[in-house]
Chain A
């Protein structure tokens, strides 16, 4: 009621301004008259009385101003006026506006783009029902498990999952899934799509409702279900099935099966993994039907299912974990299968399950990029600070031209608060423009960031829509920015005592010593912050360069990886080795192919296998934990890895001959049997499908990198593919050839087609794969480099502005000095000298900051220390160069001053 009448009153007075004004005047006049009359009655003369009454009242305008300011509508009016004034100022100086908006847009845009990505991969919850209740169930600690880990995420084996599903009372619901690739035939060519094995309850637990048809229920996921039916994603339905409702019930050809499409998931649901979406989901039970090789359903050594539990309403995580702890012994007991190596069974039975909160699902993208992104956000924050300093300088220059205006208004009774408000509101349109363009820029930058992270084989899917968090971030950033760049100059401009301000020089040259100090301080800060950014950029660039040029121990150029899938041939196991051998031989015969060999694990692909090994006859306790690879003969030749002692594998190494191994130097060193342990017999622990085996070392090769370029050389044991007891129908061949890529690949396809058209072939360039393993480093190098350049540019603009201002201010002084005989050269060098001094001061201030900040990036560097003197010196010199370049134009202008004109100036 009161609020309403207040609002109505406010609007009424907005429209009846004249009448309100007259009433106020009348009331004031009445007051003075009554007071005068009173004083007359008390015996004053009429002159005295009128005078006294007027003194009582003071300035009628001030009183009226106070009365007016009691009403909100006045504030609104003033606010509009200031805002409009701000807009007019922007329109009047388009050059200033463009520079300021661009500066703001770059600063805010860079920050928002990085934050947006962080928001998408880290902060946001999964778009499912009550994501806060979701937990990830995995093995506790660093589990010592045997077998194959098939996903990037913590995973359980299927018997364990089934036990958990059927016997747990810890969670209200549980789900499991595993990412996979499925070969789908559309028309007559097959292509790989992103698949997902899911438990029957999967969609139900996540609260996902079908957009069309139906999703799985627990009855879809039953033992022996075969290739029964699939659910497709909305994107797949739209893109591949034309969004046709008739698609439900139609059949999709996956491998050899034509399976019915049961339903479509809703738009916006992209699965429990951030960074990857899915096309087709199939029940877990159908894994063995789609895959010709390997049945993971009844294996306790295939760790492939990622499991999530939904906490019961009101249940805490620790309650869930207590439940899992008591459930664990029975679960591992029940899930143990015969394939688990006997000597590790005890360890298996002691494994434990734990749950961790996982409202954001899982994401390798997050694991890999979270800390680089936070680091980049910090660097971008520095850039924004530098941008703020520029803007503050611009605003300072503007407001110092108005110091007199403010002084007059202050002495007429305006409050400092009112003036500061005015200045803030004036900068508001600028801020809104800057923030809006920043947000737009961030959208584009975000997309290119994602593109930067994608690789040839793996398409990334990150949902980058700006949500309330991103908008809030931008708004906070903008507010913070405004406080920095508008508030400080506003305080500065309105702080002077009026009398002092009226005395100061003409508004044209404006400014006091104090504000010059502030200006210099801002530039010094900019240089200091730039030093951090430029040093960081140099460090990351060097890291990337070091990794690119690090000696990996093998040839990287002209190597092609060819992956072949022979499973359609349905070869008996006994024939596989021979067929594979024949393919290698045929590829080797292609003119221009210098070497070719089979290989199990391509170095730096991220895959690894380790098993325990010890010298025969020695204590089983003195074991080595080397990495394993399996290679064909000619592997070392193909990759240019020198054989230091003994021999490579050859045609005499067959499944029936004694097992042999080649080891690298590091393994030989750890084995402690001299530099050349050729002839030493080593024992490898039992594997799920392989008993404990003895190998004789027949060769020693030079060290090379195994899993990633940053590692120190690790021990490696190479086994002969030609001795494999149970070869699978997949083959990986590396070729060394200088042939142009298109020719080489078409020759290979021709050769393979000659064997059988049913073999599918896939290529990857080794060098590209290595480059892609360096994506995080590349991201850091590119982005920190861009931020460093941006920082240096902004600082250059800042220096330019300040030096030009100083030159203008000192025109007279320069004129006098030239009249007294100073040459152009001296003037030039004195201006440049002053600039250099500012820059050097900035560098001095920046050094400790740089040391403080770069300590945090030490772990991200390679081959360079965070306090590398060369990097620092380079950054410092670069900044000095930027400083001198920025000051050159104003310095030239100063040198061109005509003494006569300058002296007549005032």
Chain B
């Protein structure tokens, strides 16, 4: 199985999950998703950055400029309380859907 874009509609959930660990900048989020998914999913900046902008507007994440690992200024995103709630909601829905799909596929 090669690299591919994330499953449709799950990008925001994956970002929320990734940011739940610690605040990160955009590239960090992209790398983390790629690593954890063992390179199954790739997120390119063309969809990641607009998604982050959207989530910031929705109040799920907040951003702040900080110095990065290599001492450059970078925009760090962190989860808000509302974002945390959204994550748990979406995770629940997702798990329900996955098990439902699994049941169908096994039937």
Residues of A near any B CB (own CB < 8 A): 2, 5-6, 9, 23, 26-28, 30-31, 33-35, 37-38, 56-58, 62-63, 66-67, 69-71
Contacts and interface: CB of A to CB of B under 8 A. Distances in A.
Contacts of A27: 26, 49, 74-75
Contacts of B25: 30-31, 34
B75 A63 contact: no
A66 B50 contact: yes
Contacts of A26: 73, 75
Interface stretch (B15-23, B52-60, B93-101): B52-60
Contact of B45 (A2, A28, A70, A71): A28
B37 interface: no
B49 A31 contact: yes
B72 A33 contact: yes
Contacts of A37: 70
Nearest to A2: B59
B32 to A, nearest CB: 12
Contacts of A5: 59
B54 A70 contact: yes
B75 A23 contact: yes
Interface in B40-91: 44-47, 49-50, 53-54, 57-59, 65, 68, 70, 72-75, 82
Given A26-B73, A27-B75, A63-B50, A56 B58 contact: no
B31 interface: yes
Contacts of A28: 45, 49
B31 A38 contact: yes
Interface centre among B28, B44, B53 (most CB of A within 10 A): B53
Interface centre among B27, B59, B65 (most CB of A within 10 A): B27
14 contacts: A2-B58, A27-B74, A30-B25, A30-B26, A30-B73, A30-B74, A31-B27, A33-B72, A34-B27, A57-B46, A63-B46, A66-B46, A66-B47, A70-B53
Contact of B72 (A23, A30, A57, A67): A30
B59 A58 contact: no
B56 to A, nearest CB: 8
A6 B46 CA distance: 23
B27 A62 contact: no
Contacts of B72: 30, 33
Interface centre among B31, B45, B46, B65 (most CB of A within 10 A): B45
Given A26-B73, A27-B75, A56 B68 contact: no
Given A34-B27, A56-B44, A6 B49 contact: no
Nearest to B42: A56
B45 A63 contact: yes
Contacts of B65: 23
A473 to B, nearest CB: 38
Contacts of A33: 72
Given A28-B45, A31-B26, A33-B72, A67 B57 contact: no
A62 B46 contact: yes
Contacts of A58: 44-46
A71 B46 contact: no
Contacts of B31: 38
A30 B75 contact: yes
B53 A67 contact: yes
Interface string B3-18: 0000000000000000
B2 to A, nearest CB: 16
Interface centre among B28, B47, B57, B59 (most CB of A within 10 A): B57
Given A30-B74, A34-B27, A38-B27, 19 more contacts: A5-B59, A6-B57, A6-B59, A26-B73, A30-B26, A30-B72, A31-B25, A34-B68, A35-B27, A37-B70, A56-B45, A58-B46, A63-B46, A66-B46, A66-B50, A67-B50, A69-B50, A70-B53, A71-B53
Closest 4 pairs between A and B when the two form their complex, measured CB to CB: A34-B27, A66-B50, A70-B54, A70-B53
A75 to B, nearest CB: 12
Nearest to A64: B49
Nearest to B82: A2
A467 to B, nearest CB: 40
Contacts of B74: 27, 30, 34
Contacts of B47: 66
A57 B50 contact: no
Interface centre among A5, A37, A70 (most CB of B within 10 A): A70
Nearest to A37: B70
A5 to B, nearest CB: 7
B30 to A, nearest CB: 8
B25 to A, nearest CB: 7
A70 B50 contact: yes
B107 to A, nearest CB: 40
Contacts of A30: 25-27, 68, 72-75
A70 B57 contact: yes
B47 to A, nearest CB: 8
Nearest to A23: B75
A71 B57 contact: yes
Contacts of A57: 44-46
